[in-house]
Structure 1
């Protein structure tokens, strides 16, 4: 703490904290520095000023020396004019909603770059006439889900449900179990979404038990369809009963199943997670899902199922407002036809391999004098998928102060706090990012060492 005397000229001489703060370069002086001035022309003055202020704050707190403010500000600048920053996901949540859920594969990223210029998104190059938008991506989607006679893509999972409800049930009833009237992240409630389309909700059964007879008793001339929703972010256990899609197919109305997570086929590690192929084979008329969850692709909403219903949905006027752009189509097709996605790799990572990586990194960082150790831990799927499922994992355990410093460093690393330590879980960190992760840890100043 800086101590001053009443009437004195200011802080005591020799006060290291005050001296350090006085030596921090002024903002206007830093903005005239050649590298930062050039960056201001490239990225905009506001972006550079934000980096300068962040570096100055690090100097005030003693994390860096005043003479390092300019270098730190340059390091904090984003590589592009976009406001989003690339981060390393060390949270242990494979599909972290706040971090954009699925990471695109290398093939998908290349496809996006290729599609950034003029493309044949709605043109048949052989005939020179207009063609169906996204036709190759839709064909790839049907190839992955053989039981789907038709497919359609919109801009997210909620949009898929909105389009189906509007096209098939506006002014009609949607029959749904009380136990599936869910709320997902950020206060988003499914009933509110469905009612906004002009449909009426007909709730049946109870929170924990809904039978086929409950659905049958509610169906009448005003029924648009029966809706089954996977309660993806919670589980009801104990005295429960839920009718599956196969049991509802004989009720005389379409059965729409929202599987949420985007799993196209059964997954050995997630046996309780519903998938599109199984639901359609069981008799579902339409299946809706998200593309940026377990599928591991870009944000989009997938619709799969019967051709006649899909025609009614895809030709509804609202479909135009919810359509995806060419970049999403390119990324989706590359995800469907390309090599293993980062999501699939993260789910399949062997715990022993993760622990070996953590031990190797801990040994290297420990040799640099950093207080770190490798620990076993548990990761989760995230993104509203596989509630209650934990994945054995391994992490670097660091002092708690590393959490904030790593989030705000030149290469942002987002971990989690657990038992007073900052854990950097490797489950969702690709092996090729291990050295970047290590360098980010090394870059965190050590106040005890005076740097």
Structure 2
């Protein structure tokens, strides 16, 4: 059976063991009389996946630019090509001029330094939580304390709580202020000989409004201990669409000694943790034993460098999308579907940044409105389409969907409509 031409091609693409398992499953059906033996090849071919991976491609029509359940930031074409280049053997840690060991990730780190001009040095680990854990481990430890505002002790997703992450390093936390208000004097009074540093954490999608106060980094720069700021979403420089979102360049200029963030959110790159700041502090972190356990691989380095040096990544393109152009796209798609007999119409909608970034920011958008029943059917397709259900209608928001996917989106909707 493995030598049958159609299955031999599948062995080359998917591997012998996967194909063999499907053959055995079909053969057992034939033995029990549930399958005509002459149909085994057809049944196996239909059952085999299109690739040796269980991940399913999803068209993001949810209206959330950074959808955590969809892997957050989609990579740019330049980053995808960089992954292919890095997949083989390369000079990730080799100096081709001398033939000796080279500086690991030099291209990505050089690009990051250029993108954050206020940083003395930079480092990259495998995610945002790891960046903060490395900072606390290297600068804190048993017998040391980190001063942090009580209102910034947040849960970062999937049940992981920031206080537990920090305390797992052996460092004690000294909370200051109240849930809704903290002052510079609160921080100053809490500092003593055990203080490793002051930590400020951007609360991301957690917002307290009303009678509140917080302390900006500029007012914490002269307390006699390092100031570490976790900005969360990885915005490297200010963006006009997100005036209240902290960025790395400005935060360092305001007095932070070290800034940490994620790489797969507003930066628009692969999953990574970014650290930037005082050169001596970054060097201490880079040489700490834990840094080896948190080291990123060649694929992450390649995708990160291409994101930093290449064209605007998809998340930035989506963030800067023109609402008028989005509505025109929705009208074209809805018109095509309506002509085919689908109950579709173009509507204005509101999108969000997502990924814990820019809470409360509403992005004007446009969507294709369909009957609610389309939501489940589209999500079950291959590729899948993720929309959202609002007021009894399935909305396919176009803010996070590249224009090049419009025709495919329409075809997938038409396929569901034909089966309805």
TM-score after normalising by structure 2: 0.91
Task: Determine if contact 1:234/1:388 at 8 Å carries over to the other structure.
Answer: no
1:62-141 to 2 correspondences below 5 Å: 78-141=49-112
Shift of 1:209: 0.7
- Match in the other structure for 1:63: none
* Shift in alpha-carbon separation, 1:159–1:428, aligned structure 2, 3 A: same
**Cα distance between partner residues in 2 of 1:436 and 1:182:** 40
**Cα distance between partner residues in 2 of 1:84 and 1:40:** 19
**Cα distance between partner residues in 2 of 1:289 and 1:210:** 23
- Match in the other structure for 1:179: 151
Shift of 1:108: 0.5
Shift of 1:38: 5.8
Q: Deviations over 1:117-157 (max 9, x none)?
A: 11111111111111221111111101001000100000000
1:239-318 to 2 correspondences below 5 Å: 239-318=211-290
Question: SS state of the match for residue 137, structure 1?
Answer: helix
1:389-428 to 2 correspondences below 5 Å: 389-428=361-400
Task: Determine if contact 1:78/1:85 at 8 Å carries over to the other structure.
Answer: no
Greater shift, 214-223 or 408-417, is seen at 408-417
**Cα distance between partner residues in 1 of 2:318 and 2:113:** 25
- Match in the other structure for 2:359: 387
- Match in the other structure for 1:357: 329
**Cα distance between partner residues in 1 of 2:68 and 2:21:** 25
**Cα distance between partner residues in 1 of 2:67 and 2:7:** 33
| Structure 1 outlier segments of 4+, above 6 Å | 44-51, 70-76
Question: SS state of the match for residue 264, structure 2?
Answer: coil
- Match in the other structure for 1:163: 134
* Shift in alpha-carbon separation, 1:304–1:50, aligned structure 2, 3 A: farther
Q: Deviations over 1:51-75 (max 9, x none)?
A: 9xxxxxxxxxxxxxxxxxx999978
Question: SS state of the match for residue 266, structure 2?
Answer: coil
- Match in the other structure for 1:57: none
**Cα distance between partner residues in 2 of 1:431 and 1:232:** 29
Q: Deviations over 1:217-240 (max 9, x none)?
A: 110110011000000012111111
Question: SS state of the match for residue 393, structure 1?
Answer: strand
Question: SS state of the match for residue 387, structure 1?
Answer: coil
Q: Which residue, out of 442, 447, 450, partners 2:414? A: 442
**Cα distance between partner residues in 2 of 1:91 and 1:75:** 30
**Cα distance between partner residues in 2 of 1:138 and 1:303:** 11
The alignment status of 1:195 with 2:193, answered yes or no, reads no
* Shift in alpha-carbon separation, 1:358–1:72, aligned structure 2, 3 A: farther
Structure 2 unaligned blocks of 5 or more: 23-40
Q: Deviations over 1:282-315 (max 9, x none)?
A: 0000000000000000000000000111111110
RMSD over aligned Cα, in angstroms?
Answer: 2.4
**Cα distance between partner residues in 1 of 2:7 and 2:158:** 38
- Match in the other structure for 1:9: none
Task: Determine if contact 1:76/1:409 at 8 Å carries over to the other structure.
Answer: no
In the alignment of these two chains, the number of paired residues is 401
Task: Determine if contact 2:121/2:276 at 8 Å carries over to the other structure.
Answer: yes
Question: SS state of the match for residue 443, structure 1?
Answer: helix
* Shift in alpha-carbon separation, 1:400–1:36, aligned structure 2, 3 A: farther
**Cα distance between partner residues in 2 of 1:72 and 1:220:** 71
* Shift in alpha-carbon separation, 1:398–1:39, aligned structure 2, 3 A: farther
* Shift in alpha-carbon separation, 1:210–1:88, aligned structure 2, 3 A: same
TM-score after normalising by structure 1: 0.84
**Cα distance between partner residues in 1 of 2:54 and 2:46:** 15
Task: Determine if contact 1:75/1:410 at 8 Å carries over to the other structure.
Answer: no
Q: Which residue, out of 289, 296, 303, partners 1:324? A: 296
**Cα distance between partner residues in 2 of 1:80 and 1:204:** 52
Structure 1 unaligned blocks of 5 or more: 1-30, 52-69
Question: SS state of the match for residue 359, structure 2?
Answer: strand
